[in-house]
Amino acid sequence: MEVRTHDDPAAWLEAVLPLLMLDEARHDLHLGLVHTLVHHPSIYPSKHLWSVEEAGTVVGAALQTPPHNLVLAQPVAEGANALLADEIGSAGIQLPGSSGDALRRRPSRRPGAPVRGTPRDG
């Protein structure tokens, strides 16, 4: 698996849309935020967009519009979110928290701890 960072919200959406549409209701926040990023970019002047790919298929995705929480998509491959967390931590991005069903089964870390390997509940 490989994490890709995206600068263009429209390109990110094109890449991750098949994953998000596997459960449209679960991913409504992702879809709404990326719509805003594409059509009203001045609302969120800063953004982080990631996808996780395996064998040419997107198996995980996340976005963040600072100072807001990281929003994770429901992954379809084991380890996709851990790989995202490693990439985000390695980039030195400080997250205030995270949201996504995939996190609810993971133990919380202490508030303010840097991301290292596993996202925290937000």
Q: Determine the Cα–Cα distance for residues 44 and 71; give it in Å rounded to an integer.
A: 15
Task: Write down the H helix ranges in the chain.
Answer: 9-20, 28-39, 80-90
In a domain, 51, yes or no: yes
In a domain, 108, yes or no: no
Q: Number of structural domains, the chain?
A: 1
In a domain, 119, yes or no: no
Q: What long-range pairs does 39-47 form, CB within 8 A, spacing at least 24?
A: 41/9, 47/9
Average pLDDT, 10 consecutive residues per value, the chain (122 residues): 96 96 92 96 95 96 94 94 92 83 42 46 44
In a domain, 109, yes or no: no
Q: Determine the Cα–Cα distance for residues 42 and 63; give it in Å rounded to an integer.
A: 16
CA 27 remoteness from chain centre: 11
We report the CATH number of the domain holding residue 81 as 3.40.630
The model's pTM is 0.79
- 61, 80, 79: which is closest to 71 by C-alpha? 61
Which pLDDT value is given to residue 99? 78
Beta carbons within 10 angstroms of residue 45's beta carbon: 8
Q: Domain range for residue 89? A: 2-103
